[in-house]
Amino acid sequence: MNLRSFRITASSAALALHGLQKGADQTTAQDWLRGVPAEDAAAVTAHLRRAVQEGAMACYRYRVGAGPDGPRWIAARGRVVMAGGERRLLCALVDITEEVRVQDELRRERERLSLALNAGSLAVWDFDPATGAAAIDTRYAAKLGLGPEVGSLTLAQIGERIHPEDLARVAAEHAAMVASGTGYHIEYRIVTGSGEIRWHVSQGITVRDDSQPGWRMVGIIQDITDRRQREEDLADLAAAREVLVREADHRIKNSLQLVSSLLSFQLRGVTDPAAADALRGAIGRVGAIAASHLALQGSEDLRRVDMAVTLEDLCAHFALLHPAIAIVCRAPPPLILDADRAIPLGLAVSEVLTNALRHAFPEGKGGTVVVEAATELGHLILRISDDGVGMPAPAREPGLGSRIISSFASRLEAEIHTESTPGQGTRVTLRLPLQAKAAG
């Protein structure tokens, strides 16, 4: 720009930046600023006036035009020089539109990242294994109870904040991460500057830069104290519930045993054979439920039962009721079954045993009853056999016990098969899936 005539001489490239015709090699300041927004034009004028008045270098940037992709951004540097005996303002222009676009996108990404970090109560760290230090943001510093001026921490400084009981574990995880160059995820406690204990989770990934040797690890930490507290509260509630359930189960089992004892006491005074058989059946059923509750008390989660324990208790219970008959149990543990299925199965076994002891050995005859259990291809196989008189052919009309067995077998989705040879004995086989079929 000629500072006497205020005419502007520009190259074709400079004219193109302003959207002016290439032939217009000389133009006025008014023409030159025609496509520049008013606020930018005022700023440009102020910078140039200062350069002219003070002889300083003018550095500024401004927008020009308003195309479909937005305005073009131009960076300018200029100062006053003497040329041909006249003072001129010489400026160099550079199109920085793409640079500004990238900067704006980076700014928006930083804003979105900051929003996400704040919403998730997250903090960022950047570990360089070459220096052994981690750059941290202000959120990280705040989580450790440090001031915002702390922007980097060594491993030793971080270790000072980790709970002593967790330090060795965290150090081992970190060493493994450094040795392998892979990511990691770990939960640990920290002790803040005020002495408060908080739970943090830290996770990171390995970052490699092709332009630089080596690698870095970047990641986040999150305060999970509230989540851990909820988990501990739930665990305490579950433990308390388990204690209550076990206590209730214990009381139920004791009550059932008391009922069984009362029935047994009543049985001693009964002379009617039919009434005695009915009482023994009732005692057996009560004993089967008590045995299931006893097994449930010994389970780890109160949802599954080791059926081997239930069968052992049932056999011992019936052996006391029928001392003249040997009752053998072959049920190697574990035979795990859902509690909802274990109790009806115990009752079904009780009915089969009752039938065997009632009908296989008439007139006080001795003998042996064998209870066997094993798993096979996702099924539980139960066999109850005796060496008694066998079942006459054709079979008699099914009684209450047989109807109960069929009902429980249907409920358990079990197959029931009976084999009997007169004079040689009877064998009843129950085959049921270890897992109940899904409803629907």
Q: Does domain 7-101 have CATH number 3.30.450.20?
A: yes
Q: Are 362 and 384 in contact (CB under 8 A)?
A: no
Please tell me the predicted confidence (pLDDT) of residue 213. Answer: 65
From 373, 357, 377, select the one nearest 365 (Cα to Cα).
357
* Residue whose token pair is 């780890």: 300
CA distance 313 to 293: 11
Q: Is 143 helix (H, G, I), strand (E, B) or coil?
A: helix
Give DSSP secondary structure letters for 314-363: HHHHHHHH-TTEEEEEE-PSP-EEEHHHHHHHHHHHHHHHHHHHHHSSGG
From residue 235, how far is each of 88, 229, 241, 244, 378 by CA, in Å?
A: 82, 10, 10, 14, 32
Q: Are 59 and 93 in contact (CB under 8 A)?
A: no
Please tell me the predicted confidence (pLDDT) of residue 130. Answer: 81
Which residues, 6 or more positions from 425, have their beta carbon under 8 angstroms from its beta carbon? Answer: 360, 385, 386, 387, 388, 389, 390
CA distance 78 to 62: 14
The single-letter code of the amino acid at 407 is S
**Which of the listed CATH numbers 1.10.645.10, 3.30.565.10, 3.40.50.720, 3.40.190.10 matches domain 229-433?**
3.30.565.10
Residue range 120-223 forms a domain whose CATH class is alpha beta
The CA angle 344-347-348, to the nearest 5 degrees, is 90
| pLDDT (tens digit per residue) in 342-387 | 878 888 888 888 888 888 888 778 899 999 999 888 888 999 999 9
| pLDDT (tens digit per residue) in 270-323 | 778 778 777 877 777 777 777 766 666 666 666 778 888 888 988 888 888 788
Which residues, 6 or more positions from 81, have their beta carbon under 8 angstroms from its beta carbon? Answer: 87, 88, 89, 90
Tokens of 160: 């000072």
Report yes or no on whether pTM surpasses 0.75. no
Region of 425 on the Ramachandran plot (φ > 0 left; ψ -120 to 50 alpha; else beta): left
The contacts found for 211-214 with CB under 8 angstroms, 24 or more apart, are 214/129, 214/130
In angstroms, the first-to-last Cα distance of the chain is: 87
| pLDDT (tens digit per residue) in 133-144 | 889 888 888 888
Q: Are 260 and 267 in contact (CB under 8 A)?
A: no
Please tell me the predicted confidence (pLDDT) of residue 381. Answer: 92
The single-letter code of the amino acid at 75 is A
Please tell me the predicted confidence (pLDDT) of residue 342. Answer: 81
Tokens of 279: 């009482």
Q: Are 304 and 333 in contact (CB under 8 A)?
A: no
Location of each CATH 3.30.450.20 domain in the chain:
7-101, 120-223
Location of each CATH 3.30.565.10 domain in the chain:
229-433
Please tell me the predicted confidence (pLDDT) of residue 295. Answer: 63
What does DSSP assign to residue 289? Answer: H
User: Which residues in the chain land under pLDDT 50?
Assistant: 440
Please tell me the predicted confidence (pLDDT) of residue 212. Answer: 63
Q: Are 86 and 2 in contact (CB under 8 A)?
A: yes
